[in-house]
Amino acid sequence: MDYKIGIVGLGVMGRSLALNLERNGFPVGGYDLEATQAKAFLTGYTRGRKMAAFDSPAALMSALERPRRVLLMVPAGAPVDNAIASLKPHLLPGDILMDGGNSFFMDTERRNKDLETEGFHFLGIGFSGGEQGALRGPSIMPGGQRQAWEAVAPLLRAIAAKAEGGEPCVDYMGPRGAGHYVKMVHNGIEYADMQLIAEVYDLLGRGLGLSANKLHSIFKEWNTGELKSYLIEIAADIFAKTDAETGTPLVDLILDEAQQKGTGKWASQNALDVGAPIPTLNAAVESRILSSMKSQRVSAGKVIHGPQMEFRGDRSQLITAARDALYAAKVVSYAQGFSLLQLASQEYNYNLNPGTIAKIWRAGCIIRADLLNGILDAYRHDPALVNLLMDESFRAAVGSRQASWRLVVQTAVGLGVPVPALGASLAYFDSFRSERLPANLTQAQRDYFGAHTYRRIDREGTFHTEWK
């Protein structure tokens, strides 16, 4: 049998994608450097299916139909380069290697260029949706040579999540590292979305003293309206889960230290490189770092005291305001992410299509939400839209919620509940809508101490002043 595709790396994600591919009619050959993984794949998954495990790269490559299509599902960094090196002696011109991990997009740029000079194709593919997404239908973001995309498109369309109307959540993102760049920004928005939800949970939980059961009811209701999304849905489920041993809500027993794998941090770092303001995404990354400083926070909490955490206002009003604030801040976080994509597209000549990206994020991925239908409509109406806040519909939706948004941030500040992402979103909103910002004083100071010059509002040219 000629296998349609090979998968190198038979861990959870590799196995899940293999099962998805086989279920959709594409026989799969697998290989893993770890003999135990290959054996587990062979004995636990291949029986009765058109799948096989091979004991060497050479054996795998000889079993694949041409042009060979090989998907690498190994950890980012050196393991990807090592996997490529093990396969390269067996490649023929026109063969296609694909990296399906969370690789840094600049590494994908390098690998794409290096392999192209030797006559091979290389796709960097972002997969989102976790294990269940890989098994049942992920959102897929491929980038690389267009002819390579066209050669693997039937497979990826078959296994992708399907949005309303059955449209597959996969499309060609652009050349070289474009696919992994889009996945990086997806993860940055994911960080922001999760942090915004966590801050609202903290305000309602600590600030109002609401129980996990009450929070479950609130989030379940929110998931029937404009906040309907995967992350709101699973938050509601989490609040309902009770620890079997103690009878305590499980969320209350989980250590408050959030981990990260680097993609959100990469988005923040790259945004500085391309000059894109993404304060909500940055706040989310910084909040995870702050959460990791547990011992310092415990010590500080004993000697540094804030206000008394006692809410005296209308509780129902604040809960409603929190829903509105969360929606407004989520729109702003998406606006920042899509603006970053547009600036990066110019910087790296990716020719990214924001509407296409919104389209493939509507199902399968972690940030899937009803909100993306509105984003898709906004870019369909104006493909050159520079910021989502300039879309008439979103401008009205956010504007009508800003009083609630300000109430939530003000209340949190008064209670001493940290809301770095909600606050950063509001500051971005106020900065973006301000015709005049205080940068004139910043420029005057730069000229004062460094003769960096400045421009004037009443005449053309650059100027320097002897300030003393």
pLDDT digits (tens, 9 = 90+) for 129-173: 999 999 999 999 999 999 999 999 999 999 999 998 899 999 999
454 φ/ψ angles, rounded to the nearest 5 degrees: -155, 165
Please tell me whether residues 417 and 289 are part of one structural domain: yes
Please tell me whether residues 170 and 194 are part of one structural domain: no
Please tell me whether residues 113 and 197 are part of one structural domain: no
436 φ/ψ angles, rounded to the nearest 5 degrees: -130, 130
Q: Amino acid identity, residue 445?
A: Q
Please tell me whether residues 344 and 229 are part of one structural domain: yes
Whole-model pTM?
0.95
**Catalytic residue chosen out of the listed positions 4, 22, 109, 190:** 190
**Single residue among 129, 155, 176 that ends a domain in this structure:** 176
Q: What is the pLDDT of residue 1?
A: 62
166-203 pLDDT per residue, tens: 999 999 999 999 999 999 999 999 999 999 999 999 99
**Is residue 302 among the annotated active site residues?**
no
**Catalytic residue chosen out of the listed positions 4, 22, 109, 183:** 183
Is 112 in contact with 147 (CB distance < 8 Å)? no
**Residue tagged 């595709």 (tokens):** 5
**Single residue among 140, 157, 176 that ends a domain in this structure:** 176
**Single residue among 176, 210, 236 that ends a domain in this structure:** 176
Q: Which of 345, 329, 339 has the alpha carbon at shortest distance from 278?
A: 339
Domain count, the chain: 3
The residue segments making up the domain with residue 13 are 5-176
Please tell me whether residues 357 and 380 are part of one structural domain: yes
**Residue tagged 């109307």 (tokens):** 165
Least confident of 42-51, 82-91, 358-367: 42-51
The CATH number of the domain holding residue 20 is: 3.40.50.720
Please tell me whether residues 233 and 378 are part of one structural domain: yes
Confidence of residue 47 (pLDDT cuts 50, 70, 90): confident
Please tell me whether residues 200 and 347 are part of one structural domain: yes
Q: Which of 55, 48, 354, 22 has the alpha carbon at shortest distance from 182?
A: 354
Q: What is the pLDDT of residue 260?
A: 78
**Is residue 183 among the annotated active site residues?**
yes
Please tell me whether residues 172 and 202 are part of one structural domain: no
d(CA 70, CA 172): 18
Please tell me whether residues 452 and 397 are part of one structural domain: no
141 φ/ψ angles, rounded to the nearest 5 degrees: -125, 85
**C-alpha dist (Å) from residue 255 to 198, 207, 416:** 14, 19, 21
Average pLDDT over every residue of 199-211: 97
Q: Is the pLDDT of residue 261 over 80?
A: no
The CATH number of the domain holding residue 345 is: 1.10.1040.10
Please tell me whether residues 166 and 221 are part of one structural domain: no
**Residue tagged 């984003």 (tokens):** 375
Phi-psi region of 143 (alpha: psi -120 to 50; beta: other; left: phi over 0): beta
Please tell me whether residues 442 and 428 are part of one structural domain: no
Please tell me whether residues 118 and 203 are part of one structural domain: no
